[in-house]
Homo-oligomer: A and B are copies of this chain.
Amino acid sequence: MAKNKHGGKKPEQVDDSFGSVLQVGPGFRLADLDPAATPGFSGKKKDAEKAMDAARDEIDDLQERLYAGGRDGDGPAILLVVQGMDTSGKGGVMRHVVGTVDPQGVRLHAFKAPSVEERRHPFLWRIRRELPPPGYIGVFDRSHYEDVLVVRVHDLVPPATWRRRYDQINSFERSANDRGIHLIKVMLHISSGEQKARLQERLDRPDKYWKFNPGDIDERERWDDYQQAYQAVFDKTSTEQNPWYAVPADHKWYARLAVQQLLLEELRGLDLHWPGPDFDVAEQQRRLAAT
């Protein structure tokens, strides 16, 4: 644990580390997770906002150390992978969690349906190119997991192909670890009823029309298939080294706090120090004084 001036204090309503309560372990059933729950946090919306504000300085400090450590081309990086059904709040996490981190140290990439060129390559090709360099916090809004989610639900490749991908993903992620990349894999879990309400809002408010796509309802009709596909993702790719975190997301304020705290806990665990000078400080002070 990094010992910095912030001392790693938990907000008072936080009962335990978010990592330990949200981690997907053996036997985890997505169907049993209440999307309206707030595991590990006994506060309300206002408390969550205060807790998020309170964490900002520490994240700022740790992120800058991370970035500084990457300057010479090694040192660790973080990759935050965010998955979830339409309207589950991925955009809000980008805006309200990722958006509070210094943009100079962030590499955010939103994966859309693959282009013609991307489809000519193995599915991990376009993912590998977006991995964060040392010192950066990479953020994936959707990811390689779409290749075993939408692809599986819609039979976009033969079953034998997507079945192989779970192992390929595990070994890809281990190779990312070997390069110093620490993954935080987050699934925002909403209820079907909450999704309906959020889609309804996009159809009711002219300033939200642009976020709506008739295809969202097609996907909604496959709700159960997607839940099954997510369960398979958890069963096969929540490993000890690269676990998933299942975040109840019917309360946007809880999901944002949880993702922020997962990021903070990961940063703390890196034990980040300021790099020493690679020059003679006294000599440079003399040179500067002479100008």
Which residues from chain A sit less than 8 Å from chain B, CB to CB?
68, 71, 91, 94-95, 98-104, 106, 108, 110, 141, 196, 199-200, 203, 206-207, 209-214, 217, 220-221, 274-277, 279, 281, 284-285, 287-288, 291
Contacts and interface: CB of A to CB of B under 8 A. Distances in A.
A277 B91 CA distance: 20
21 contacts: A68-B211, A71-B210, A95-B104, A98-B103, A99-B99, A99-B100, A99-B101, A99-B103, A104-B108, A104-B110, A196-B288, A200-B285, A200-B288, A203-B285, A203-B288, A206-B274, A206-B277, A212-B284, A214-B287, A217-B287, A217-B288
Contact of A106 (B103, B221, B277, B279): B103
Nearest to A100: B99
A279 B209 CA distance: 9
B221 A291 contact: yes
Given A287-B217, A288-B199, A281 B98 contact: no
B104 A91 contact: yes
Contacts of A99: 99-103
Secondary structure at the A interface, as helix, strand, loop or mixed, is helix
Contacts of A211: 68
Could you say how many copies of this chain the assembly holds?
A: 2
Given A196-B288, A209-B277, A220-B288, 10 more contacts: A68-B211, A94-B103, A94-B104, A103-B106, A199-B288, A200-B288, A203-B281, A206-B276, A209-B281, A217-B284
Contact of A217 (B206, B220, B291): B291
A95 B91 contact: no
B104 A291 contact: no
A213 B284 CA distance: 9
A243 to B, nearest CB: 25
Nearest to A211: B68
A203 B275 contact: no
A68 B210 contact: yes
A168 to B, nearest CB: 29
A52 to B, nearest CB: 15
A196, A220, A288, A291 pick with most chain B CB within 10 angstroms: A288
A173 to B, nearest CB: 24
Nearest to A220: B291
Nearest to A208: B274
Contacts of A94: 102-104
A141 B104 CA distance: 10
In the complex, the 3 A-B pairs of residues with the closest C-beta atoms, listed nearest first? A68-B210, A209-B277, A95-B102
A32 B3 CA distance: 48
Contacts of A212: 277, 279, 284
